[in-house]
Amino acid sequence: MKVHINAERCQGHGRCYDLSPELFTEDEEGYGQISGDGLVPGGAEPAAHLAAANCPERAIAVQEA
Ligand code: F3S
């Protein structure tokens, strides 16, 4: 599983890195960033779906492996 942020949609709401800090971080302006290469480690799948479901801009895509 992989996560991706569409930077054109992200408005910096911050729910991704607040809810799922193991997968997301923020840049210096508060926009969401993927931690690492976006591969979701085993056990973190719920965190990926949680972040995607809570992004008001629907900027987060979860790609099933
Ligand atoms: Fe951006 Fe959505 Fe996260 S707007 S900061 S990707 S919650």
When the candidates are 3.40.50.300, 3.40.30.10, 3.40.50.1370, 3.30.70.20, the CATH number that belongs to 2-63 is 3.30.70.20
Could you tell me how many residues make up the chain? 65
Mean pLDDT in each 10-residue stretch from start to end of the chain (65 residues)? Answer: 98 98 98 96 97 98 91
pLDDT at 65 (0 to 100): 74
Say if ligand 1 is within 6 A of residue 10 CB. Answer: yes
Please report the atom of ligand 1 found closest to the CA of residue 57.
4
Say if ligand 1 is within 6 A of residue 63 CB. Answer: no
CA of 25 to the centre of ligand 1 (A): 10
Please report the atom of ligand 1 found closest to the CA of residue 17.
3
Say if ligand 1 is within 6 A of residue 23 CB. Answer: no
Domain boundaries, the chain: 2-63
What's the pTM value of the predicted model, to 2 decimals? 0.94
For 10-55, give the secondary structure using H, E and C.
CCCCCHHHHHCCCCEEECCCCCEEECCCCECCCCCHHHHHHHHHHC
